[in-house]
Amino acid sequence: MKEVQMIRDLILRNRTYRRFYQEVAIEFETLRELVDLARLSASGANWQPLKYILSCDPQKNVLIFPCLGWAGHLKDWPGPSEGERPSAYIIILGDTEIRQSFGCDHGIAAQSILLGAREKGLGGCMHGSVKKDELSRALGILPRYEILLVLSLGKPKETVVIDDVGPDGDIKYWRDSDSVHHVPKRSLDDIIIGQL
């Protein structure tokens, strides 16, 4: 039971963070350790088709940032401003010379990385909304590699809380007047639809 509490606590703390202390650098070795967690994670038929590009260099980070979509439900927020941007990125690629499709490997890899990051006092965001052609061009990524997800990482500079989804069923996250980010989650009874 204690172990379940530990993993529950880590998952609870592992919120999506989109504002960071940009001045807090992340070492390349830290990114390598995080990718090692992905390396050890599950992979469909154990094909392990994922590859990674790591960036913790502010001059490279500026090439990545404009290619990412931020918080689609926050219509008036264009993303973190200078000073609150990520210190590092991990780009998750599918190597098409290993497989043509990647199942949910990248989601599993992303979660492993973000859980590890949280344990290190960092946090981040998965980006499915990516200008992939632009990013490939900016970084010179070979056509062999399909961009699947980008993870932004940094030392979180925001409070994120989980709420229950209200009676209106609205799942859109929102920010209150104190800039606290609220994430409504459906109840357990709503999502378990059968007991066989």
Ligand X SMILES: Cc1cc2nc3c(=O)[nH]c(=O)nc-3n(C[C@H](O)[C@H](O)[C@H](O)COP(=O)(O)O)c2cc1C
Q: Which residues bind ligand X (CB under 6 A)?
A: 15-16, 18, 69-71, 107, 125-129, 160, 173, 183
Of 90, 66, 88, 91, the C-alpha closest to 79 is 66
For residues 85 and 20, the answer to whether their CB atoms sit within 8 Å is yes
| DSSP 8-state class, residue 66 | G
Any idea of the CA torsion for 5, 117, 103, 62, to the nearest 10 degrees? 150
* Closer by beta carbon to ligand X, 187 or else 195: 187
Q: Smallest distance from the beta carbon of 170 to ligand X, in angstroms?
A: 13
Q: Smallest distance from the beta carbon of 106 to ligand X, in angstroms?
A: 8
* Closer by beta carbon to ligand X, 191 or else 196: 191
Q: Smallest distance from the beta carbon of 15 to ligand X, in angstroms?
A: 4
Contacts of 104 (CB under 8 A, 6+ apart): 44
Q: Tokens 């490997």 belong to which residue?
A: 105
* Closer by beta carbon to ligand X, 8 or else 32: 8
Q: Smallest distance from the beta carbon of 72 to ligand X, in angstroms?
A: 6
* Closer by beta carbon to ligand X, 108 or else 183: 183
Of 49, 141, 44, 145, the C-alpha closest to 99 is 49
| DSSP 8-state class, residue 81 | P
* Closer by beta carbon to ligand X, 29 or else 76: 76
C-alpha distances out from residue 192 to 164, 186, 189, Å: 16, 10, 6
Q: Smallest distance from the beta carbon of 174 to ligand X, in angstroms?
A: 10
Rounded Cα distance, 26 and 24, in Å: 7
One-letter amino acid at 153 equals L
